Structures are given as structure tokens and as C-alpha cells.
Structure 1
């Protein structure tokens, strides 16, 4: 069972924007090689930090509305949401250390 939550256009608001904890959203697509490289890192972080941060992924091909509304211009894009507000956004594949640094203030 995966520790990363799948979100869609219809579940983005309740899962991400109304969450009582920080949410790191991974915008991905199946054709994106860097997205696939990021998957195991996100799974590992999600398992290590469950209960403190929610890790979510949104398939940009199957759910085009949310990425367009959130100005996602390339894949993979990672957005950190806290209290319904976008705190930071990074694009491209990242290492575990880089993601931990991104989350440091919220762990």
C-alpha cells in the first residue's frame, strides 16, 4: 500500500487546501522520466513522516484543471501547501536531502 495519497481535480480542495497539516503535492505524468525517479523518494518520505506531512500526487494528464489553475508549467512540479496557502514551489526532480530541506520548517 502506498503512503502517498492520489488527488484529482475534484479532491484537490478537500485533501490539500483544507488539510490540517502541510501537504506536499507532486504534479506528475506517466511519460515523465524525472517524475518516475521522484516516486520512490516521495514514498520513502511519506512513510517516514506520516502524521506530520501529507504527501500527495496529482496526474497532470488525467487532471488538467488543477495544474492550470495552480500555474504548473512543467513536470515534475512540487508544491508545498500549509493552511490552504502555497508556501513554496519547485520544479524538476529533487534528491531526498533537497526535499527534506524544503520541508524542514514543517516537520
Structure 2
């Protein structure tokens, strides 16, 4: 389950080429090696990658300290920062801070159009 090969490492140098080639929903985690909440979120990524491996979703991470161009592009002011980019290559959602894992599933599901909403849990 903790297969790091399923997590794409985006950088200042590979981001543009990746985005030009992909037709997937992209979930990006901006993190820092010195941030405790970031380290927790990094442990969530393999679960997200495993859950969405059959879907058109890419789970990616960006070390904000060593990728200043990408961090500036996304206006990263604090980490962790998670971003969902739609198939149309537009930012659909951005959340700062560590959330519950279920919140990340909801962010991605909403963009995939598989979000069931509150009432589905009642029936």
C-alpha cells in the first residue's frame, strides 16, 4: 500500500510538460520536510493513489522549499497546501492545512463527479 511509485513528484522543471500531457484530475500536495502536518499528509498519499488507481486521477507532491517557481505559481504561503486541478487544467479547489483523510477523498470525488453528498449517507 505504501508504494511511492504511485506518487508523482512534480518539480519546477517537469510540471509544465506533465500538465501538457495529462488528461487526468490532478491532486497536488505542497509540503516541506520540516513541517509535521506535511509529514502526516504525505502518509495519506499512498492511500489516495491506491484508491484512485483505476480512475483518471494523478496524486502528486511538490517539495515547496526546493521548487520556488511552482510554489510561487500556486501562491503557496503555508504548507501543507493541497490543490485539485480539473481535466480542463484549472484549479478547482485549494485547501491549506492538514485535513482529515476523508476530506481529500471528497475533494477529488467532487471533481470526478462521484461525490454522493450528505443525503446519500442517510439512505
TM-score by length of 1: 0.91
Unaligned runs of 5+ in 1: none
User: How many pairs are equivalent?
Assistant: 107
- Who is 2:67 aligned against? 63
Greater share of strand residues, 1 or 2? 1
| Structure ID, larger Rg | 2
How far did 1:18 drift?
Answer: 4.2
Q: Which has the higher contact order (CA 8 A, sep 6+)?
A: 1
> Which of 18, 35, 38 does residue 35 from structure 1 map onto?
38
Determine helix, strand or coil for the equivalent of 1:56: strand
Alignment of 1:84-99 (within 5 A): 84-99=89-104
Q: Post-superposition shift, 1:79?
A: 0.6
Q: Which runs of no fewer than 5 residues in structure 2 stay unpaired? A: 115-123
Out of 96, 105, 117, the residue aligned to residue 100 of structure 1 is: 105
Moved more, 28-37 or 64-73: 64-73
Contact (CA 8 Å) 1:6, 1:56: kept in 2 or not? yes
> RMSD of aligned C-alpha atoms?
1.4
